Amino acid sequence: MAVLKRCPFCGQLPETEVLVTQKTSAIDDVILFSVACGKCGTTKGVRLKIKAKAATFLEVEQAMEEATKAWNTRWDDE
């Protein structure tokens, strides 16, 4: 996993969190990967929708990378 940048608003080092939430349907589950600042509450995340609890390691790893990329993106990045 890539190194996380500091919070763009307060400079605090972020925390990572993985939440697994089950939808009302027995068919789909959702895994939420988020990066959050513990000081000011800024959060970036990505949802991974999986069928019947069958996420592959590659899918989970890609979702974690997407959350990290979203957090590390700044308005002046090219």
Give the residue numbers spanning the domain of 43: 15-72
54 occurs within a structural domain: yes
Tell me the CB-side half-sphere exposure of residue 50, using CA atoms within 13 A.
19
pLDDT of residue 10: 93
How confident is the model at residue 43, as a pLDDT?
87
Whether residue 24 lies inside any domain: the answer is: yes
Give backbone dihedrals phi and psi of 44, rounded to 5 degrees, phi first.
Answer: -130, 140
* Number of domains making up the chain: 1
Would you state the pLDDT for residue 63?
78
Look at residues 42, 41, 49 and name the one whose alpha carbon lies nearest to residue 70. 42
Mean pLDDT by 10 residues, the chain (78 residues): 85 77 62 84 80 69 82 78
User: What is the model's pTM?
Assistant: 0.68
Q: Does residue 4 lie within any of the structural domains? A: no
